[in-house]
Amino acid sequence: MIRLPPFRFFTPGTLTEATRLFAEHERAVVVSGGTDLYPNMKRLQVSPPSLISLRGVRELKTIQAGADGSIHLGAGMTLTQIERHALVRERVPSLVEAIPLVSTLPLRNMGTLGGNLCLDTRCHFINQTPFWRQAVGSCLKDVGDVCRVAPGGSRCWAIASADLPPLLIALGARIRLVSERGEREIPLSELYRDDGIHYLNKMQDEILTRVILPRNENVRAGYLKLRRRGAFDFPSLGVGAALQFNADGVCESARVVLGAVTSKPLEMPQAQGLVGEKLSAPLIAGVAEAIALQARPLQLADYTYAFRKQMVAVYTSKLLNRLAD
């Protein structure tokens, strides 16, 4: 049995107490469900001296409707709780459809929205046991000085493998970050950096507390995921999209976001080719091919580079046709 390394464990009961603990413990790491963090700690990918659990922070476990028609999702809500919530099922059916694609039911019962959005980047060369990594050689994300994916490069190329960010970014989600210094609200897209090691654009002591989805009138959205097994696997490719139509069926706005391609969710500007048009299969196929040409999925997930690049066009076209139908 692989054991966890030693660490201190704090269980604050309020958000104020949690932010104070983060300010006092410089290298502390937040944990809620722990479905990704604990396996990474067992493999000694990370060894934080202190964990601050958010499981008991009630402020993070609410779902509310805003006065402007927005929906506020507490980052401490489990994925199962969000999937089954009446307000979410009524107002954001695309999110309800996407959540069952995440891992397995027991892990969705534990894993939280905030944990999924802050999921660590992944790579075949780091997400292995210490014995395996020692045999192959360490990498930039471990303790080495070379990237095993691109040995001539100077950066880590581990990929963003969370399922929900592509869809939520396409829907225009914003997030709230809180620390002892105060709070700030940013678009979810700005949370991520194209860097496999420093992949989150937030301070170490900031806690993601809330996801805010704007009111989306006449918007159709969805998420598709490429993986080898029908359950459990991380995505080898994720495609999230949101299309808005007017009364005449003309596309007024379009966003397509790819996951598991680079170190951050990748919004594709080629989707603007759909705007101002009534969508047809040939138009969608052309836009999907243009998106695939710009996607460069590196060889650090399942399947080959060539197959994953081909699947960008296939899955993008499939999702857009579904939304336009």
Give the pLDDT score at 31: 96
Q: Which residue type occupies 276?
A: G
- Residue 91 domain-assigned (yes or no): no
- Residue 185 domain-assigned (yes or no): no
- Residue 70 domain-assigned (yes or no): no
Which residues pair with residue 208 across a beta bridge? 177
CATH number at residue 222: 3.30.390.50
- Residue 273 domain-assigned (yes or no): yes
> What phi and psi values does residue 101 have, to the nearest 5 degrees?
-80, -10
- Residue 64 domain-assigned (yes or no): no
pLDDT averaged over consecutive 10-residue blocks of the chain (325 residues)? 90 97 93 95 94 96 95 98 97 97 95 97 88 84 83 86 97 97 97 95 95 93 93 92 95 97 96 96 97 85 86 97 94
**What's the rounded Cα separation, in Å, for the pair 241 and 316?**
8
> What phi and psi values does residue 192 have, to the nearest 5 degrees?
-110, 145
- Residue 34 domain-assigned (yes or no): no
189-217: b or e for each residue (b if 16 or more CB lie within 10 Å)?
Answer: bebbbebbeebbebeebbbbbbbbbeebe
Alpha carbon separation from 45 to 9, 28, 120 (Å, rounded) = 18, 15, 11
Residues whose CB is less than 8 angstroms from the CB of residue 184 and which lie 6 or more positions away in sequence, other chains included: 176, 177
Domain span at residue 295? 218-325
Give the pLDDT score at 175: 98
Give the pLDDT score at 300: 73
- Counting the structural domains of the chain, the total is 1
Q: Which residue type occupies 280?
A: S
